[in-house]
Structure 1
Amino acid sequence: MIRPTLVRLAESIGTRPLNLQEASASLLPPLPLFRQILRTHRHLPAEMRSMGDDYVKAEFRRHKAIDNPLHIIGFLSQWKIYLDGLPRGPDAKFNFNGKKLDPQLLEKMSEEQVGQLYELMNATKDVWKA
């Protein structure tokens, strides 16, 4: 269960749009954002959908007890940016060329985050080889 403070903060964020650098709209509360991501994944190829759904579920589960407002906003904004970058609809064309990671962002990551990013990179390489 998501903590009440997280829900209150997310609801207040959802009613007051933030200007995010790359996101096209305001932040969404955690549960609607989670659901929209999984709905959008329905149009991915089967291997990508399976991996993406598992990853999203694990990340939201891992972050449901966070109390720090900065971490909450950062988490929600990055997932919103991800959602906005996904093609939508059954006729969507998927072109996964990848993006270069900003070196400054990489420097700010913890060792655990870098390890997780490395594991994700290796998992996606296996999917695309098939």
Structure 2
Amino acid sequence: MSYTNIQRVRILYKTILKLHRGLPEELQILGTNYARDEFKRHKSCNSTEAEIFINEWTNYAISLAEQLGLRGPHTGTRLLGAPLAQCDIEKLRDEQVIQLYELMQEAIKSKQKEASKR
């Protein structure tokens, strides 16, 4: 069965949201909000950007599925995420670097909140 581009994006988006349900609550909220914003932002991009967008988010979904396993994170002993290579950072546009920095700041705040609860 062949899907249209819109159908592919919709299926990918729903898959990502389902995968996010397996994350700890703070990461789920952060990831879902980020994905929602990114998918909205790319609604009217050109076909070349759309293909790159779909490929990158597909890779993210595959990576997250591998990290979560079949039943979500196992008691928090397994770290989620992957290091970002310098060559990948160099490919980012300025606004993407800013966005990545803001995401890092939110992750740090979330980690500090969690530590202060203990």
| Alpha-carbon offset, residue 56 of structure 1 | 0.5
Cα separation, 2, equivalents of 1:65 and 1:80: 19
| Residues 43, 88 of structure 1: 8 Å contact kept | no
Give the TM-score normalised by structure 2. 0.77
Q: Summarize deviations over 1:80-125 as a string: whole Å, max 9, x none.
A: 1111111144343353354332222222211111000000111111
Gaps of 5+ in 1: 1-6, 12-27
SS at match of 1:58: helix
Give the TM-score normalised by structure 1. 0.71
Name the structure 1 match of 2:98: 115
Q: Does 1:66 align with 2:45?
A: yes
Q: Runs ≥4 in structure 1, deviation > 6 angstroms?
A: none
Provide the alpha-carbon RMSD of the alignment. 2.1
Bigger proportion of residues as helix: 2
| Residues 38, 53 of structure 1: 8 Å contact kept | yes
| Alpha-carbon offset, residue 73 of structure 1 | 1.3
Gaps of 5+ in 2: none
Count of aligned positions: 106
% identical aligned pairs:
30
